[in-house]
Amino acid sequence: MSVTSLSPSAPTPLPEASEGLAVWPASARPAAGGDITVADVSLTDAADRFGTPLYVLDEGEVRDRCRAYRTAFPRADVIYAAKAFLCRAMARWVEDEGLGLDVCSVGELGLAMTAGFPAERIVLHGNAKSPEDLYTAVRLGVGRIVLDSTSEIARLAGIVPDGARQQVMIRVVPGISAGGHTKTRTGTEDQKFGLSITDGSAQHAIARVLAQPRLSLVGLHCHIGSQISSVKPYVAAVRRMVGLMTQVRDHHGLELPQLNIGGGHGIAYRPGEDSLDLTTLANRVLAELADGCAHAKLPVPRLTVEPGRALVGPAGVAVYRVLTVKETSGRTFVAVDGGMSDNPRPALYGVRYAPRMIGRASTALPALVTVVGRHCEAGDVVADDVALPGDVRPGDLIAVPAAGAYHLSMASGYNLVGRPPVIAVRDGSARMLVRRESMDDMNRRDIGL
């Protein structure tokens, strides 16, 4: 795709303050000299103080989004999906706002416990839980464990002490395709998660759990995908799950008290993109659940939802510094000091972002450029064909909004660049939550000499 300067006769303008900040934290404001503040903290000052690459996380935005979910689902359990982003401060914020926590490994579980998170409000997930995962969850008193395969049933039952009972749920594949990319669609038959209703695997697992005296089946779980912007798939999933709950009642005489419909709630990464409307989701899902249970003569189970990206994604901004600007074969490449080691999502899913130059006012006409990372990979692209000032140059700062989820949590050690720090901003102050990964950190793990 050729990249050219945008002509004066038909310019594509750089984002105005209102449009350009549409996918930024709600506290973001344009400031003098082309700067942007988040929670009254200058991003330019933050970059100077903490270095780049840098993640900036708006604590107030995270808390506000937690409260919005509690308001939308007042009689449900709202569980934060820690895989989106987890540190001790994030666990504390979630606990403060009355949410539970969904973890997928002993690592996430251990970090949550060191932050003092109540074990009874933790849910353990995962399609292939290790014996250590299960043992640690039982030992620490995790509230619920979601069983993803029949092999986990006997394994978990053998870990639970005599006289105790572990609350479990069965992860069900409802046969619904939803999600922003094929690699994130988890509600269909042709992927690794869950047990199918269609082939009877879910029903078989339910019967096996009920035969285990150390396991207490408290409900069913499904998760149909990620980055979903439509309410319809969730309504369909609720309908199918109520149908299975009716089968459980009819075949086993058990009215399950809980239903977990997972998360996957989509956000906008660029102005104009769709996101999932929380109020509409809550109204439609709760209505479908009530109507379906009334029709089946079932008591309405306690609902659980598991937002992750929707709570933390829009609260984060990644800040990079430009290292080089290169024109080749009609394209302009703006290379920054991070890339796929701190954000693999463009390479994995073709995600598109809306980066913006900050910290310097420019009157240059905008030009289409490709923002790339510093790593030895042709696919190391941060954002393709985006408008930046035509005079962008080394030393400039580039900020990428909607960077709070699946960035640091998916970061790697590629090229031994070191993972960026995370700072929290609130009421004009900034504090470090996670420090930058140093060369000493990486060297300490290498003990081969």
Closest residue by Cα to residue 386 from 20, 111, 17: 20
Closest CA to 144 of 102, 174, 107: 102
Burial degree of 64 (CB within 10 A; 0-12, 13-18, 19+): middle
Token pair listed for 407: 């960035």
Q: 336 near 321, Cβ under 8 Å?
A: yes
Quote the tokens at residue 35.
Answer: 């700067």
d(CA 314, CA 25): 6
- Contact partners, residue 291, CB within 8 Å, separation at least 6: none
The angle, 0 to 180 degrees and rounded to 10, between the axes of the packed helices 131-140 and 106-114 is 30
What phi and psi values does residue 156 have, to the nearest 5 degrees?
Answer: -70, -40
User: Tokens at residue 394, please?
Assistant: 């080394």
**Contact residues for 282 (Cβ-Cβ < 8 A; gap 6+):** 72, 73
Q: Which residue of the set 87, 104, 222, 376 is catalytic?
A: 376
CA dist., res. 319 & res. 55, Å (int): 6
Question: What does the H/E/C string look like for 164-195?
Answer: CCEEEEEEEECCCCCCCCHHHECCCCCCCCCE
Residue type, 198: T
Q: Is there a catalytic annotation at residue 104?
A: no
Closest C-alpha among 173, 114, 161, 166 to residue 143: 166
Closest alpha carbon to 261 in 318, 228, 321, 221 = 221
| Dist. CA 427–CA 85, nearest whole Å | 22
Cα–Cα distance, 425 to 46 (Å, whole number):
10
DSSP-derived secondary structure letter, 196: E
* Pair 109, 122: CB distance under 8 Å: yes
Q: Which residues are catalytic?
A: 376
